[in-house]
Amino acid sequence: MIAILTAAAVAMIASLIGTRVLISVFKRLGKGQPILGAEDRGPVQHIKKQGTPTMGGIAILFSAAFGWFIAHFRDGLPFSDQSMIIWAAVFVLGFVGFLDDFLKVQRQHNRGLFWKKKGYITFAICIALTWWLTAATGVSETLSFTRADLPGITFTWPLFVIWTALMVWGTSNAVNVTDGLDGLAAGSASFGFIAFTVIAYWAFRNPQFYGDVVNPLDLAVLAASLAGACGGFLWWNAAPARIFMGDVGALGLGTALGLLAVTTNTHLLLPIICGINVIEAGSVAVQMGVFKASGRKKRLFKNSPIHHHFEQSGWPETTVIIRFWIISAICVSTAVAMFIADFTNLQSLSEMRR
């Protein structure tokens, strides 16, 4: 537990300081986030935010990694191969996001070079990374809900790689879609990482039920460091934001959430933990579906993702953010409650067999 608290505290302080440094650096460089205008059906109410420094996700990812590293100075906490592969994946996807952010800022247009190609590129990368995780570690290759043997459907190795790649790719893109209001993505992601901290630590404390989770304590430390880093970043990203997360942060955090679900055997619990991200990404999919089905004449929402719909319906931005945080907290609480309820049931069954 001390290692978990150390990781979270160090990451939060590092993120708090590191984000402030990034704000100064990017302001000195004189270029910031471009905003889509009315011609692109962008959120015109956000035009006033144009020029705000972006790529704050750099501070989140490096601060979290630093907090995780410092926590390992405590005896009894080895560096696990699962966590190191997760970090590699986070920084690889984060780098793709950084390239896109950089090009947006350089060109002063909100569609980077990878606008139409980024989905294919990131999915190919996700396949390579989940293949590495599967081949190099003892991660359980079953479809799981709250543990490896529930429902316990065993995948063939190639199918497991594709399935987990879809999980990671979908989560990273869903977090990216959510990152449209000040503090929304960072706040909801921090709730998700807190949930995975609880789940991984619970698995560590109860190996008789979660023996398929490899190195759960290190996974808990990793999740806690990311939660702490998001918290430190929120100090500067809360409305009105002085810096944006950017794709570098959104893709990195989404990748971490997806891979934590893979390594803690909570595949089917992930959509509940990331419920707000599912709603956001789903609203975009529904909007596109209705638009195409109507011959490009009708739209279901005033704008998508759905947080922009509520803004254009008259909700102040801070109202949308806080209400979406509440929805995220409800989703995360529900997921953790389901995990603990299953544990309680397992414990009861175990006692009855004695």
Per-residue pLDDT reduced to its tens digit, 236-288:
999 899 999 999 999 999 999 999 999 999 999 999 999 999 999 999 999 99
Task: Say what percent of the chain tops pLDDT 90.
Answer: 72
Q: What is the pLDDT of residue 161?
A: 96
Residue 27 burial class via C-beta count within 10 angstroms: exposed 0-12, middle 13-18, buried 19 and up: middle
Residue pair 301/287 in contact (Cβ under 8 Å)? The answer is: yes
pTM: 0.93
Give the whole-angstrom CA distance, residue 247 versus residue 121: 14
Per-residue pLDDT reduced to its tens digit, 69-109:
999 998 778 899 999 999 999 999 999 999 988 888 887 66
- Model confidence band, residue 36 (pLDDT cutoffs 50, 70, 90): low
Q: What is the pLDDT of residue 115?
A: 60
Query: Which of 35-39, 68-72, 147-151, 350-354 is predicted most confidently?
Result: 68-72
Query: Domain spans of the chain?
Result: 2-270
Average pLDDT over residues 51-64: 92
Q: What is the pLDDT of residue 49?
A: 67
Q: What would the two tokens of residue 280 be?
A: 């956001």
Give the whole-angstrom CA distance, residue 354 versus residue 336: 27
Residue pair 288/133 in contact (Cβ under 8 Å)? The answer is: no
Per-residue pLDDT reduced to its tens digit, 145-160:
999 998 989 999 999 9
Q: What is the pLDDT of residue 114?
A: 59
Per-residue pLDDT reduced to its tens digit, 219-241:
999 999 999 999 999 999 998 99
Q: What is the pLDDT of residue 48?
A: 65
Give the whole-angstrom CA distance, residue 103 versus residue 294: 34
Mean pLDDT over all residues of the chain? 90
Write the CB contacts of 214 (distance below 8 Å, at least 6 apart in sequence): 80, 82, 137, 138, 139, 263
Coil/strand/helix, residue 239: coil
* Torsion angles phi and psi, residue 35, rounded to 5: -120, 135
Q: What would the two tokens of residue 231 be?
A: 């918290």
Q: What is the pLDDT of residue 110?
A: 62
Q: What is the pLDDT of residue 3?
A: 93
Average pLDDT over residues 191-203: 97
What are the residue ranges of helices labelled H in 146-305?
157-178, 184-205, 216-237, 246-263, 270-273, 275-293
Q: What is the pLDDT of residue 41?
A: 54
Number of H helices, E strands in the chain: 12, 2
Task: Say what percent of the chain tops pLDDT 70.
Answer: 92
Q: What is the pLDDT of residue 332?
A: 98
Give the whole-angstrom CA distance, residue 341 versus residue 190: 23
Task: Find the helix or strand (DSSP H, E) in which 26 lies.
Answer: helix 2-29
Q: What is the pLDDT of residue 219?
A: 97
Average pLDDT over residues 289-297: 85
Residue pair 41/303 in contact (Cβ under 8 Å)? The answer is: yes
